Structure 1
Amino acid sequence: MRHLKPWPWMALALSMTALTGCFDASDESQQKATADADTKGRISVAMLLPPRSALTPLSDDAFKLSRWSVGETLVVLNDEGNLAPALATQWEQVTPTDWRFTLRDGVTFHDGSVLDADVVVNALRTATLATPKPRILDGVSLTIRADGDHAVMVSSEIADPLLAQRLTSPQLTILAQSAYADNGVISPVNAGSGPFVLTQLTGTSSATLERYDGYWGQKARAPGADISFVPDGIARASALRTGLADIVEAIPVSQAPVIDSQRIHEVPMPRTNTLYLNADRGVMKDPAMRAAVREAINRKQIVDNVYEKRADIAEGLLGPALPWAAKLRQPVANPTAPAKPNGVTITLATFTDRTELPEVAVYLAQQLTDAGFTVKQDVREYSQIESDALSGQFDAFILSRATVLDSGDPIAYMYSDFACAGSFNIAQLCQPEIDKALEEAAALPAGPERQKAIMKAENIILASDAAIPMLHERVIQGESARVRGVIRDPRERLLIDANTYIMDDTEVAQ
């Protein structure tokens, strides 16, 4: 395997952060020339977040495997949010609790092994037995068994109308048997089934993809891709400007004005910037104090100043990416009256990986101070702060949260974040009426009645003031002049696929 020279991301980040007018353009040109010579035809990608769990599919790292077209699931969601075939070509609900999936013929994994029922059973059973479970399986009990060599039966303990949609989650990616070690470690290196094979993962700095010529579908046009993880937003934007990267995730709003407008694309996201308040302990255990925070927030000021109007003011948890939500939303009845803070001290926390969030924290801290709170801030990298947030160490936590990331349906997100047993319940919220509303919505098939039930659950959650939605984000995706076929996916599941490629110099010139 060819080993590529690492891109000078750290040097680039430091130089751009400290930029004072003495930038050496000749050095930058030399860096670009060296990169071009080493990576002809390869796609260079700058990702926002580094892997948190060595790319195990049972974590959020699974979305990287999906975005790179390395790993595949049994079924996927099309642009309209309906089921489409992937590793399974047919599916049917045999009984209220049993679904049968027919597997695609001729699929091989990157290690040369063949897709069959036993491989699928192993992958899905591992996910159901994991601790913690993948988020998509919160509150769900599934059993999986082979139905001959080329089909599997997936059964739920109770009727689950969205069972098939759950299986579209990248966290339920099917990997070869070789990916699963006896000690519980799962490695996707040389174990996926997509058009690109992950050949190398270098810690949290980079990953290497090569074209998989044995792919069951259309072969990749590009020979491979070189992935670099670049949490620094200025460095990512600089990489696009200097040609070091062909595709850049999440360009900071502040950097957009200094980039060629033809190179940036706003993608409306089902992602809400929400302030989670600790409803279980401390100052925010008092509903009246949470109401005081609700009344103190000036959303427009944050949208106008931090996001430079490249975001939408939030009226609820679900934003413009789900057009039906606004039509069905009802005002919260009898909202709690706010208390007077009288200088009480609270800790407001967030993370640095999303460039805008620390600035959001600054504005929020000032707004809360003006309302009478004394505010302490705690801002760190996400990997360093996540465990403290999940264990309820903060009074308030700012989170940029995808609302339909997993199944294409917001119930999974709402259960994960707001149910008593939710695995991502930063607000430490536990109210029986919320659990009941979520259970009622989850029992309904996709359609208008389910949507109404979802909005009823949202209304009850908003009434708790434990989660205060501030804005709905639009991600700014960067694409160089020489790349074609990049996917602009609101669900953040796809980025490159077999049709993504780098034009040669002749094509670029034209």
Structure 2
Amino acid sequence: MNHRLRTGALAAGALALTLPLAGCFSAESAESSGTGDDARISLAMMQPPRSGLNPMSDDAFKLSRWATAETLVALDDTSDPVPALATEWEQTDDLTWRFTLRDGVTFHDGTELTAEAAAHSLRVATESSPLPRILDGVDMEVSVDDGQVVVTTGSPDPLLPNRLTSPQLSILSANAYDGGTISPVGTGTGPFELVSVDGTSSATLDRFDGYWGAPAAAAGIDADFVPDGTARAAALRTGTAHVVETVPAGQAASIDEELLHEVPMPRTNTLYLNAESGPFADPAVRAAAREAVDRAQIIASAYEDRADEAVGLLGPALPWTLEERGGADYDEILAGRAEPADVDGVEISLGTFTDRAELPEVAVLLEQQLEAAGFVVEQDVREYQFIESDALDGAFDAFILSRATVLDSGDPVAYFGADFTCAGSFNLSQLCDEDVDAAIDAASAAPAGEARRAAIMAAEAQILATDSAIPLLHERVIQGETGGVAGAVRDPRERTLVTNETRIDAQ
């Protein structure tokens, strides 16, 4: 089976870090940064680097959002793989993939992108400890043959091109790897070159004139790390920053609505019900809990109407789900749900955690809704680190969790497998259902594209039919942009923010 895609264009920290309390901004404010080709884009980022911008860590997503580091493969809006530094790829047998690199790509340090340079970056990732999440459990060898990068897996992996889209598998020049550290400063391939990093305070990037694609519309990026939400909101109100990550919902009312853009996130708040023991071992009792939930009330009260009601486990951050959900086969599976039981005085325990500010309020609202239906609810709310092990052990009849539904591959099958299979490592519902396992296995084996999306939706329907997980809502994040910004990306996957097309127009 062959898959070909073509396009003409398309260390741990070596830095000494100290965490600022609120963040301070670069000397050049957004208001004074000019417009057009000479403009610099000012960013207020939510989190400072945790590992000195080591791409093996989650800091890689900053490198991706700044358009300084690139991967062999990218994702389109449907989470299908598309060319990036690789222009085409071919699966030559069940275990082997060959990637053809783009010609004329130069690293920021002036060296040329070659198959050996790309393979070296991937080998470093496979040998990293800990491994990048996307490679967890993946047996992968990387070699070079006839100018192509050859990736061989230990078992068939139809998702291999998707894996290579992870920012943690960015391709850096050989000069990035020196003495056990990895430095992205001056070693990427993107339209912006990372030229300096000031600990956990700020980072500076300049336009890279040797970029293989269209040159950046802006002269550079000045990124400040501002963990305090009030300070980020103030930066947007005062025009100190052009683009602001994650404006707190509580600050939104004090900001001009035209500057705020709500981005659906691939994160679902779900009520997990213990399907193995206790009252919810009975599917009819689980169905009664499902019927008791009033999502609109939860969203209006706990989220100030800044969330989307969940009709499934996957939400509007994956827009293809809106089209795929609800077909005849999907509806037929859901028709097999149990009828709700009459409950009167059924005692249940309900757990959640305090780390996400809205969840304790969600627990209060759910307690009221469940008790109105006849349940007697006892709450247990703790910090996540003190409650996770009990939740995983099935100590609660019900548990509320805010859960990321797509991981680094942009694909939700790993989430389904971890949360809902008999052998799942994060199976809060203690669910073990042959039909669910079979549906998730089928989705896991399906090739990327239309067939995989159809299999994913069939698996979602099988999970929902058990009523072991009741999706409540899909979260949104608020991105702030001043009036002069054009082309900032509102990316649900949080991989892209500034591109070569982002610019500052006259306000």
Partner Cα separation in structure 2 for residue 332 and residue 55 of structure 1:
49
Correspondences of 1:339-354 after superposition (within 5 Å) = 346-352=350-356
| Cα separation, partners in 2 of 1:82 and 1:450, compared to 1, 3 Å | closer
How far has the Cα of 1:315 moved from its partner?
Answer: 2.0
Partner Cα separation in structure 2 for residue 387 and residue 129 of structure 1:
29
Residues 99 and 155 of structure 1 are in contact (CA less than 8 Å); yes or no, is this contact kept in structure 2? yes
The code of the aligned residue for 1:175 comes to L
Partner Cα separation in structure 2 for residue 33 and residue 80 of structure 1:
40
| Cα separation, partners in 2 of 1:420 and 1:334, compared to 1, 3 Å | closer
- CA deviations on 1:3-56 (whole Å, 9 max, x unpaired) are xxx9997289xxxxxxxxxxxxxxxxxx99973587553222223344444433
Partner of 1:333: 336
Partner Cα separation in structure 2 for residue 385 and residue 70 of structure 1:
38
2:382 corresponds to 1:378: yes
TM-score normalised by L of structure 2:
0.78
Partner of 1:162: 159
- CA deviations on 1:207-260 (whole Å, 9 max, x unpaired) are 333333332222323232232334444433232111122112233344334322
| Cα separation, partners in 2 of 1:306 and 1:161, compared to 1, 3 Å | same
Secondary structure class of the residue paired with 1:188: coil
How far has the Cα of 1:486 moved from its partner?
Answer: 0.7
| Cα separation, partners in 2 of 1:438 and 1:110, compared to 1, 3 Å | same
Partner of 2:236: 240
Residues 55 and 188 of structure 1 are in contact (CA less than 8 Å); yes or no, is this contact kept in structure 2? yes
Residues 234 and 255 of structure 1 are in contact (CA less than 8 Å); yes or no, is this contact kept in structure 2? yes
Partner of 1:458: 460
Partner of 1:494: 496
1:224 aligned residue (202, 220, 223):
220
Partner of 2:14: none
Secondary structure class of the residue paired with 2:213: coil
2:89 corresponds to 1:91: yes
How far has the Cα of 1:88 moved from its partner?
Answer: 0.9
Partner of 2:69: 71
Residues 46 and 230 of structure 1 are in contact (CA less than 8 Å); yes or no, is this contact kept in structure 2? yes
1:137 aligned residue (135, 138, 144):
135
Partner of 2:12: none
Residues 299 and 313 of structure 1 are in contact (CA less than 8 Å); yes or no, is this contact kept in structure 2? yes
Partner of 1:250: 246
Partner of 1:126: 124
| Cα separation, partners in 2 of 1:99 and 1:33, compared to 1, 3 Å | closer
| Cα separation, partners in 2 of 1:54 and 1:495, compared to 1, 3 Å | same
Secondary structure class of the residue paired with 2:376: coil
How far has the Cα of 1:102 moved from its partner?
Answer: 0.9
Partner of 1:441: 443
How far has the Cα of 1:117 moved from its partner?
Answer: 1.8
Partner of 2:417: 415
Correspondences of 1:46-61 after superposition (within 5 Å) = 46-61=44-59
Runs (5+) with no aligned partner, structure 2: 1-17
Correspondences of 1:274-313 after superposition (within 5 Å) = 274-276=270-272, 294=290, 297-313=293-309
The code of the aligned residue for 1:477 comes to Q
Partner Cα separation in structure 1 for residue 185 and residue 134 of structure 2:
23
Partner of 2:255: 259
Residues 44 and 247 of structure 1 are in contact (CA less than 8 Å); yes or no, is this contact kept in structure 2? yes
Partner Cα separation in structure 2 for residue 122 and residue 467 of structure 1:
42
Partner Cα separation in structure 2 for residue 88 and residue 375 of structure 1:
52
- CA deviations on 1:334-362 (whole Å, 9 max, x unpaired) are 4497887866655421424xx65564455
Partner Cα separation in structure 2 for residue 427 and residue 406 of structure 1:
22
Residues 277 and 397 of structure 1 are in contact (CA less than 8 Å); yes or no, is this contact kept in structure 2? yes
Cα-Cα RMSD: 4.0
How far has the Cα of 1:277 moved from its partner?
Answer: 6.1
Secondary structure class of the residue paired with 2:326: helix
Secondary structure class of the residue paired with 2:98: strand
Residues 22 and 227 of structure 2 are in contact (CA less than 8 Å); yes or no, is this contact kept in structure 1? no
Greater CA deviation, 271-280 or 408-417? 271-280
Greater CA deviation, 365-374 or 151-160? 365-374
- CA deviations on 1:76-111 (whole Å, 9 max, x unpaired) are 123454433211122222233322111122323334
Residues 139 and 421 of structure 1 are in contact (CA less than 8 Å); yes or no, is this contact kept in structure 2? no
Greater CA deviation, 52-61 or 86-95? 52-61
Partner Cα separation in structure 2 for residue 369 and residue 235 of structure 1:
40
1:179 aligned residue (165, 176, 180):
176
Partner of 1:35: 29
| Cα separation, partners in 2 of 1:76 and 1:179, compared to 1, 3 Å | same
Runs (5+) with no aligned partner, structure 1: 1-5, 13-30
Partner Cα separation in structure 2 for residue 97 and residue 313 of structure 1:
41
